[in-house]
Chain A
Amino acid sequence: MAAALQAIFGPRIPSEELATHRWRYLTPAFLLTLARVLLLVSIFVPYWAMELRAPQYPDGLHVQAYINRLTGDVTEIDGLNHYIGMRPLNDAAKLERTVSITMLIALVLLVEGAIYVHSKWTVLLTLPSILFPPVFLLDLYFWLNQFGQHLDPKAPLSNAIKPFTPPVLGTGTIGQFHTHASAGLGWWLAAAASVLTIAGLVFHRRAFKPLYDAASAARPGPVVPAEE
């Protein structure tokens, strides 16, 4: 059991080694910490935004998606959407929005944990946060598709507006509205966190692989399956 734990956590850094090659070991920790901060900050800024423009709305209509809520002209957009039979926006991604804050904090904690793990398990701990930005967009696509393709056939304008999938990113046209969707600052922060995490992993491997290999060679008994 202890051996298995040791295999997961990997070797500790000998203090004289840390003293001589301080930055070798601190760089991955620093990058992963920065990634965690960016992820945390992203909670407070929109991940995605859509602007709708029509002659009757000279200032446009705007909706912003945070990881846990929608802001902007949601009521007005819902009001317009009822003509084409689209469900209210707040009916979408209810589960995701409910768990999003807890989940994001869990991602941050996993990355924090990754700093103390000096084995290839580190990769597993960081993988969720690395994949989070694309997964966010995929989920968004799922809901936009779900809502756009399942319009109430009894809606007033159901003859005029056929089911459609609003673009996740970029421009589209619905009736007299031109839409433009783009990733928000929050998403870019999460994406930057992904990049920093990957960079952190590279430095992490560079720092701890030699220690890990040395420890594996020195340890008697069964060893973890070897790398190729």
Chain B
Amino acid sequence: MTAKHLVWGACLLVPGLLVGCGGGDSNSGGEDSSSAAKPTSGGGGAAPYAALQTVAQERGLTPDDLVAAAKTFQPSGRHDDYLMFASDGHGGQMLVIGVPSMRILRVIGVFTPEPWQGWGYGAGQDVLDEGKINGKDITWGDTHHPALSETAGDYDGQFCFINDKANARLAVIDLRDFETKQIVKNPLSLSDHGGAMVTPNTDYIIEGGQYGHPLGWDYAPMEEYVSKYRGMVTLWKFDRDSGRIDQSKSFALELPPYWQDLFDAGKLVSDGWIFGNSFNTELAADGGESGTPPYEAGASQRDNDYMHVINLRKAEALYRAGKAEIIKGFPVLSIQTLVDEGVLYFVPEPKSPHGVDVSPDGAYMVVSGKLDPHVTVYSFDKIQKTIAAKNWEPDQFGVPVLDFDSCVEAQIEVGLGPLHTQFDNQGYAYTSLFLEPAVARWTMGGPLGAKNPEPDWTLVGKVPVQYNVGHICAAEGDTVSPDGKYLVSMNKWAIDRFTPVGPLVPQNFQLVDIADTGDTMKVIYDMPVGMGEPHYAQMIKADKLKPWKVYPEVGWSPETQSVRLDAAQKGKERVERNGTTVDVYMTAVRSHFTPEYVEAVEGDHIRWHITNIERAYDATHGFAVPAYNINLSLEPGEAQVIEFVADRSGTYPFYCSEFCSALHLEMMGYFLVKPAE
């Protein structure tokens, strides 16, 4: 064998391999399996349409029904264009719904413990504890108004906030993992219908109080209603970097006990101002006990209530200058200060309104008095001129009440029981009509009005909805650049829309197609909501959200959005005893826990550190301990530490409560608690 032979041998060998590999490469099986994995739709031709006709005839579907179905149906695997974040009312949670398919994609545990997510059953307890009132657990909430975080007046898809009207609390949800990160309890109020709304860059989250009571809710008899009872609006400072409300930079404004209702932040030209409304300027105070009419009538005697116009920039400057007094440990700017410094103004509004909505250009404030068939449109410019001209009369608290006529731009008769207004990209506004019930479309004025063919400030058309609509939600419909296309009518009553399920009937979310101009709106989907009574929702383009698929690193704490130093780690699983404290370091991976049995003695203080060390999308494990009220949902990478006292001896089989793998049932272990000596 000589060198020459080797050379020629190598020459033959290498090209031979090249050819062999080339052949293997082109003979790829990967592409075949990938195309097979995706369901393919049927081809064209007449046959499918004949089948469609047969189905339509058999099921009694009209061509309109078929079009509606085609507009909302999502084939398997196709994602929705929009996500709608909806409150679920006294369910105390938040719903995430895909639009146009109207499918619920997530329930987010907020104020109410929710076992699927382990929310309150081992996870999120610190957050839920922030919502205690004077040390008492409050295990539900009445969620009302979700608010997506905004940058320059447009949704940025980073955070969502929601209020609890029942207890005046506010929650922060991080949209990287769709989990609640913070609950703040308002120390001044027990009632906060007027939240949550954000200022255009989410500097502040607005939380307006509702039913008047002494700030801090100390006892005061009804006779002292005018002197002691108060309304308020709180401005919570949001720190985007930490993803938390900074309570140390937050403050409130004292308001007359007029039962403030809803607020909205100004934008663009009206940036730096906030607007609210109220519905009991009558100061009805004793609910019929001494021969006066009940509140429903007592609070509806005057023709007008007051829109609140608040100079937020000035209020912020006063707070920073130390002009706030401290009530219940919280800074409050008094009515007197607000009046003296020109922060607070009122404008008469048709009585008992339910909504003040700022137009996309920030130039107009739309108010609907629910007992008046008009929407009233105020001009921000005219309000400013009226303030400058001091064209006002003070109310009994000394607050300037601006002249109505010099602030109003237009009043449009839209129908019976107008409530809330949203906007689209074609210069239309939409107002819910509770009594008709219907959604009205009308035209804006100014530059926005030029986007549609109809004259400004006129009713264009209505679409009946089933039934008793409260809020409506148009795609990005309260931002500086609404998308149009879809509107959801959130109906309080469904009556005959669904198969009966007993006397408690689901709410009905109806999807309305608002893409065309003119009187063309159509209901294209009915979605029953059977877990609470939703109020408001906000709808964001889905591609603005960048949610995580798995937590960024193994050992991640969703509560701090960082790696836990005390997280259980792979390869370091163990049980450590220190006196009567037992630290369990446990990992979960398909399809076993490590360690698989843990021994303790009755009375031991247990700190159970558990980490899901998976990195695969959707490889969630549960962790359920019977008789100890523990259930966790551990998403890939998530680490939790549960603390409890092993106060009952016994043999407790723990297991994975989220079906994780073919050997899921085998994913279990034993927690053995020896009786104390």
Contact = CB atoms under 8 A, between A and B. Distances in A.
B17 A137 contact: yes
B545 to A, nearest CB: 19
Contact of B10 (A79, A171, A198): A198
A119 B666 CA distance: 68
Contacts of B615: 73, 75-76
Given A130-B14, A169-B24, A120 B30 contact: no
A53 B37 contact: yes
B56 interface: no
Contact of B28 (A121, A134, A171): A171
A104 B590 CA distance: 39
Interface string A110-132: 00000000001101100100110
B37 A55 contact: yes
Contacts of A73: 615
B33 interface: yes
Contacts of B20: 169
Contacts of B589: 79
Contacts of A195: 14-15, 18
A205 B663 CA distance: 65
B14 A133 contact: yes
Contacts of B38: 58
B67 interface: no
Contacts of B4: 120, 123, 227
Contacts of A133: 14, 17
Contact of A60 (B30, B590, B662, B666): B30
B76 to A, nearest CB: 12
Nearest to A131: B10
B69 interface: no
A191 B16 CA distance: 11
Contacts of B616: 57, 76, 79
Interface bin, chain B: 20 to 34
Given A51-B30, A171-B27, A123 B14 contact: no
Nearest to A178: B33
Given A191-B17, A195-B15, A53 B3 contact: no
B37 A198 contact: no
B33 A53 contact: yes
B396 interface: no
A201 interface: yes
Contacts of A171: 27-30
A170 interface: yes
A182 interface: yes
A182 B25 contact: yes
Contact of A194 (B10, B25, B663): B10
A182 B37 CA distance: 21
Given A170-B24, A182-B25, A53 B30 contact: yes
B50 interface: no
A188 to B, nearest CB: 8
A183 interface: yes
A83 B589 CA distance: 12
B14 A134 contact: yes
Interface string B1-40: 0111011001101110110110011011110011001100
A97 interface: no
Contact of B27 (A83, A123, A170, A178): A170
A79 B614 contact: yes
Interface string A75-89: 110010001000000
A127 B2 CA distance: 12
Interface string A37-65: 00000000000000101010110100000
Nearest to B618: A56
Contacts of B37: 53, 55, 58
B24 A191 contact: no
Contacts of A130: 10, 14
A134 B27 contact: no
A133 B6 CA distance: 16
A178 B29 contact: yes
A14 B34 CA distance: 63
B456 to A, nearest CB: 50
Contacts of A123: 3-4, 6-7
Contact of B14 (A60, A156, A169, A198): A198
Contacts of A57: 616
A24 interface: no
A26 B36 CA distance: 54
A134 B18 CA distance: 10
Contacts of A150: none
B4 to A, nearest CB: 8
Nearest to B34: A53
Contacts of B30: 51, 53, 60, 171, 178, 180
Interface string B636-677: 000000000000000000000000001100100000000000
Interface in B589-605: 589-591
Given A53-B30, A170-B27, A198-B11, 14 more contacts: A51-B30, A73-B615, A75-B615, A83-B591, A120-B3, A127-B6, A130-B10, A171-B30, A178-B33, A182-B24, A194-B14, A195-B14, A195-B15, A227-B2
13 contacts: A53-B37, A58-B37, A73-B615, A83-B662, A123-B6, A130-B10, A156-B591, A169-B20, A170-B24, A180-B29, A180-B30, A194-B14, A201-B7
Interface of A: 51, 53, 55, 57-58, 60, 73, 75-76, 79, 83, 120-121, 123-124, 127, 130-131, 133-134, 137, 156, 169-171, 178, 180, 182-183, 191, 194-195, 198, 201, 227-228
